[in-house]
Structure 1
Amino acid sequence: MTRKTRNKYNHYTEDFRREAVRRADDPNTSAAEVAKELGIHPGQIYNWRRQYRRLSDKQFSSMYGVRYPFSQ
């Protein structure tokens, strides 16, 4: 999994986010454990999970989070 950093904010690849959510959804582990392993805040995994459930794949961009209809 690859994490990209730009400026003072962390930008994560879509693969990184999907894998974090997939691992946190495993019944044998918790989001907190996965977050600790990946060096991110557990709330980030919960946010990504919520976004994936609410949005279609087209609306979730590969690096910059939520893509709105007017974004390119």
Structure 2
Amino acid sequence: MARKKTQAYTEEFRREAVNRASKEGITTAQVAKELGVSAQQIYNWRRQFTRLSDKQFNTVDGVDYSKQESEETRRLRRENKKLKEELEFLKKAAAYFANDQK
């Protein structure tokens, strides 16, 4: 028996489905019927969205909450701090040698 090919929905589509199903006056089943997905799928997306899992819904309002992105941010902050310290040292050294030449 052939497996049914699953539809890959964009994060934006999933987010919109969850938001629409969360509004008063409309049920999840109604939204699911309008969008051609199962109500259970919307419930799954809502749960994933709430958890901000590693595989889906990693961004909220343009902020990436994935583990990989967080590690990269921490690494860049450490590197930035080190570079600022080196820059301060070089400024002081340049000022010292500038005064020494006078």
TM over 0.5: yes
CA distance in 2, matches of 1:31, 1:42: 6
The equivalent position to 1:60 in structure 2, one of 50, 56, 59, is 56
CA shift at 1:60, angstroms?
1.9
Matched residue, 1:10: 7
Once residues 61 and 29 of structure 1 are traced to their aligned partners in structure 2, the CA distance between those partners, rounded to angstroms, is: 23
Say what the alpha-carbon RMSD is for the aligned residues.
2.7
TM-score scaled to structure 2, two decimals?
Answer: 0.49
Distance in 2 separating the partners of 1:61 and 1:30: 22
Cα separation, 2, equivalents of 1:18 and 1:69? 20
Alignment of 1:12-51 (within 5 A): 12-51=9-48
Tell me: higher relative CO, structure 1 or 2? Use CA pairs within 8 A at least 6 residues apart.
Answer: 1
Q: Could you say what secondary structure the match of 1:12 adopts?
A: coil
Task: Point out 4+ residue stretches in structure 1 off by more than 3 angstroms.
Answer: none
Tell me how many residue pairs correspond in the alignment: 58
Structure with higher helix content: 2
Higher strand proportion? 1
Residues 41 and 54 of structure 1: is their aligned pair in 2 closer, same or farther, counting only changes over 3 Å?
same
**Paired-residue identity, %:** 52
Structure 2: tracts of 5 or more residues without a match: 59-65, 69-102
1:28 shift after superposition: 1.1
